[in-house]
Amino acid sequence: IGMGLATAVNRLKDSKAKSKVIILLTDGVNNAGFIDPITASELAVEYGIKTYTIGLGTNGMALSPVGILPNGSFQYGRIQVEIDEDLLKEIAQATGGEYFRATNNKKLEDIYNEINKLEKTEIEEFKFYNYDEKYRPLVLLAGALLLLEVLLRFSIFRSFV
């Protein structure tokens, strides 16, 4: 959670948008990474980035991949799942966002629609295209073959009909 939030802050810190928002979607607890989630949320506050946190799933037992079978498919087993709601609420409160809880796809869709209503910013996007034409060697080959055909037509290899 900490590394994901810090990476998002790093990506948005130089943005010129009026409203900078991170949506932090997680299904568990902070269990990896070098940056503490509270430190990452302090970075978000420093750069004026609002963070909406979403806890996804349910607490309790859930099916999860626990291994890979010899045929390459996943082996599933029931493992304990818990969502650190206190941490997610703290991050949202510190950054001026909100905490949401999604237990199914419909609820998650409703949450995104609500966030979309709260935060609107027009973003100007520049797209650059680099075209690499591939026809030139084929045109040169076709021209060389035509030239060869004309030269052979007026040589001793011409056909008599």
Q: Which domains does the chain have, with CATH numbers?
A: 1-119 (3.40.50.410)
pLDDT in tens, 66-117: 899 999 999 998 888 788 889 999 999 999 999 999 888 899 999 988 888 8
pLDDT in tens, 2-38: 999 999 999 998 888 778 899 999 887 877 888 999 9
Q: Using alpha carbons only, give the angle 150, 156, 161 rounded to the nearest 5 degrees.
A: 80
Place of tokens 């999604």: 102
133 alpha-carbon distance from chain centroid: 30
Residue 47, Cβ density class (10 Å: 0-12 exposed, 13-18 middle, ≥19 buried):
middle
Place of tokens 């599933």: 76
Cα–Cα distance, 79 to 63 (Å, whole number)? 6
